[in-house]
Homo-oligomer: A and B are copies of this chain.
Amino acid sequence: MSPTDGQDLPGLPTQRPFVTVDVAIFGVLQDELQVLLVQRPSLATEPYPGLWALPGGFIDVSADDSLEACARRKLAVKTGAVAPYLEQVGSWGSKARDPRGWSTTHLYFALLPADSIQLVPGANAADVRWWPVAGAGVRGRLAFDHAKLLAAAVERLRAKVEYTSLPAFLLPREFTLPDLQRAYEIVLGRPVEKSAFRTRVLAAGVVEPIDRQRQTGKRPAQLYRLASRSEPIYFPRTFEPKRD
């Protein structure tokens, strides 16, 4: 048995992977699902200089109390906001994923109303930008294995949108049912049937009407807000579209 193996050692292993947290931050801008990426600094001493990557970085063992706290901190640093929804996607770790050595990352994804935030390039990133999500990722090469991570986050998001109220967290506090329907369509990348959608959302108690409407030039639309602003609703069934 290898000397670094196991909880039974009197001491801790001296060779440890380094540990990072990455966050895929999603928003809806210009009627598209977009993800926030940061450009890595163009220093030859850095891996993947100048390439775009998911926001994230090393755990700070003196500043962060937990993984999730670390994710929330990184999110706040980039957006200046507290995201209404944050979920862990999973973790990845291997000898090969970072040229600097054995590394692990803990991946989270966040949803937020894109109009509510300010982008903050910050000290450790050359630039910050929203990128449209096309298919399972974005156009262009990403640093490290971030294309794979992003694909996993997008897949998780789309899967859960089939049976939860997650897209509501992409909207501002007050919204109409057509707004919400559109958010579903943008994330899923396919049309959603109006009548069934409304029945589903109202029957599940996702939203409650406020006593105001939105005037748009045509028939005004009832405004709603979330019944529960922190927890998503789970619908009894997924969508079941006939034609694909």
Residue-by-residue, is A70-106 near B (CB-CB < 8 Å gives 1, otherwise 0)?
A: 0000000000000000001011111110001110101
CB distance from A136 to the nearest CB of B (A): 19
A63, B2: Cβ atoms closer than 8 Å: yes
A94, B65: Cβ atoms closer than 8 Å: yes
Report B-chain residues with C-beta under 8 Å of the C-beta of A43. 8, 10
Q: Per DSSP, are chain A's interface residues mostly helix, strand or loop, or mixed?
A: loop
Report B-chain residues with C-beta under 8 Å of the C-beta of A4. 58, 60-62
A66, B95: Cβ atoms closer than 8 Å: yes
Report B-chain residues with C-beta under 8 Å of the C-beta of A91. 67, 88, 90-91, 106
B6, A123: Cβ atoms closer than 8 Å: yes
Q: Which of A1-46 contact B (CB under 8 A)?
A: 1-2, 4-10, 12-13, 15-20, 40-41, 43, 45-46
Cα-based distance from A238 to B237 in the complex (angstroms)? 8
A188 contacts partner chain B, Cβ-Cβ < 8 Å? no
Closest to A10 in B: B45
A-B contact pairs, 13 of them (CB 8 A): A4-B61, A6-B57, A7-B20, A7-B46, A8-B46, A8-B123, A10-B45, A12-B58, A16-B17, A17-B59, A59-B104, A66-B95, A237-B237
CB distance from A92 to the nearest CB of B (A): 7
A125 contacts partner chain B, Cβ-Cβ < 8 Å? yes
Cα-based distance from A104 to B19 in the complex (angstroms)? 9
Cα-based distance from A7 to B50 in the complex (angstroms)? 12
B67, A104: Cβ atoms closer than 8 Å: yes
A56 contacts partner chain B, Cβ-Cβ < 8 Å? yes
B58, A95: Cβ atoms closer than 8 Å: no
Residue-by-residue, is A226-244 near B (CB-CB < 8 Å gives 1, otherwise 0)?
A: 0000000000111010000
Q: Which of B46, B93, B100 contacts A59 (CB 8 A)?
A: B93
Query: In the complex where A18-B13, A18-B16, A88-B90 touch, is A95 in contact with B65 (Cβ < 8 A)?
Result: yes
CB distance from A57 to the nearest CB of B (A): 4
A60, B5: Cβ atoms closer than 8 Å: yes
Sample of 19 more A-B contacts, CB < 8 Å, known A13-B61, A16-B16 = A4-B58, A5-B57, A5-B58, A6-B123, A6-B124, A7-B20, A8-B41, A8-B123, A9-B58, A12-B18, A12-B58, A12-B101, A16-B61, A17-B59, A19-B93, A88-B91, A90-B90, A91-B106, A236-B238
